[in-house]
């Protein structure tokens, strides 16, 4: 998801001067409107673990000032406030966007391109532009947030294995992960064209599930073990009725056309 981590210390901003750069492509005439005190202290692609300013800077440096297409972005201003207090725009386009649109706008860029983001805060005007590149990087590890089936979700409860099962009864798993571009809906990240997820149940690598499978299919990857949801043309990964009673585990990883990311930590759940 988009993260807005605020830093209010002036000394911290000075220590991070090399992270606040005006793009070399910025026209000198564009400087006339830069009279604001809001500053982008840093920006990076964000892992599913807790991020600090220091490891965000280290990530951005390690990535050669590049953000991974389809991954969540952490933006660090020198101002604190509500999300509605901030606005962004990109490159020479004057159109303004909510800060919550940051991830999906960046996910719409083409691989190997360079860009500038400008940050506005309340009525202060716009920051100096912060330059960055985008590409299909090896994705960072995601995290499984929850799994739902038959009106139950874990964590928070255990699954109850269905006992009264009709011939057409379906109890599909619905998996939710973090580590992907934040969108306004749970599966809004499917609207980007770079990342999909693979899922492994109980360590079985022979029958992987997926999320954003339509994108995977367009890239030539097929997950044949998926289950048809009746005659809808929709498929899902696993059915609760097929799982044994006991403890189960699931992992997720992200991939794109160029790279396969590492597996997430294990997500365990109980079927009773």
Residue-range domain boundaries for the chain:
3-135, 143-271
pLDDT digits (tens, 9 = 90+) for 64-96: 999 999 999 999 999 889 999 999 999 999 999
pLDDT at 105 over 80: yes
pLDDT at 266 over 70: yes
Q: Are strands 267-271 and 209-211 parallel, antiparallel or unpaired?
A: unpaired
Write out the H or E segment, with its range, that includes residue 10.
helix 10-15
Contact 123, 87 (CB under 8 A): no
pLDDT of residue 3: 56
Where do we find the tokens 């609207």?
191
pLDDT at 130 over 50: yes
3-state SS track over 46-114? CCCCCCCHHHHHHHHHHCCCEEECCCCEEEEECCCCCHHHEEEEECCCCCCEEHHHHHHHHCCCCCCEE
pLDDT of residue 144: 96
pLDDT band at 172 (very low <50, low <70, confident <90, very high): very high
pLDDT digits (tens, 9 = 90+) for 208-237: 999 999 999 999 999 998 988 877 778 999
For residue 82, the number of C-alpha atoms closer than 13 Å in the C-beta half-sphere is: 3
Once rounded to an integer, what is the mean pLDDT over residues 160-187?
89
pLDDT at 17 over 70: no
Pick 164 or 247 by higher pLDDT: 247
pLDDT at 270 over 80: yes
pLDDT of residue 4: 58
Once rounded to an integer, what is the mean pLDDT over residues 130-145?
97
Once rounded to an integer, what is the mean pLDDT over residues 126-132?
96
Once rounded to an integer, what is the mean pLDDT over residues 91-120?
97
Of 201, 198, 195, nearest to 215 by C-alpha is 195
pLDDT digits (tens, 9 = 90+) for 41-54: 999 999 866 778 99
For residue 208, the number of C-alpha atoms closer than 13 Å in the C-beta half-sphere is: 17
pLDDT of residue 32: 36
Q: Kindly report the CA angle at 172 between 170 and 175, in degrees rounded to 5? A: 175
Task: State yes or no: cis peptide before 155, omega within 30 of 0.
Answer: yes
């Amino acid at each position: 998801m988009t993260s807005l981590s605020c830093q209010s210390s002036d000394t911290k901003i000075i220590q991070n001067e090399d992270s606040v750069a005006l793009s070399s492509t910025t026209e000198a005439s564009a400087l006339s409107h830069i009279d604001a005190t809001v500053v982008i202290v840093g920006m990076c692609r964000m892992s599913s673990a807790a991020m600090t300013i220091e490891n965000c800077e280290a990530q951005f440096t390690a990535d050669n000032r590049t953000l991974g297409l389809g991954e969540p972005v952490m933006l660090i201003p020198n101002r604190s406030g509500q999300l509605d207090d901030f606005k962004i725009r990109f490159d020479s386009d004057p159109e303004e966007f909510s800060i919550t649109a940051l991830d999906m706008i960046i996910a719409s860029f083409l691989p190997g391109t360079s860009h500038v983001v400008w940050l506005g805060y309340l009525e202060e005007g716009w920051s100096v532009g912060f330059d960055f590149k985008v590409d299909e990087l090896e994705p960072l590890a995601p995290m499984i947030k929850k799994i739902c089936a038959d009106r139950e979700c874990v964590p928070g409860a255990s699954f109850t294995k269905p006992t009264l099962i009709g011939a057409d009864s379906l109890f599909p798993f619905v998996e939710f992960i973090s580590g992907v571009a934040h969108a306004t809906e749970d599966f809004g990240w499917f609207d980007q064209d770079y990342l999909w997820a693979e899922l492994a149940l109980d360590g079985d690598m022979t029958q992987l599930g997926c999320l954003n499978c339509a994108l995977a299919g367009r890239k030539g990857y097929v997950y044949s073990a998926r289950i048809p949801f009746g005659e809808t043309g929709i498929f899902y990964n696993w059915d609760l009725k097929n799982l044994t009673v006991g403890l189960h585990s699931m992992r997720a990883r992200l991939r794109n056309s160029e790279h396969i990311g590492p597996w997430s930590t294990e997500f365990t759940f109980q079927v009773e």
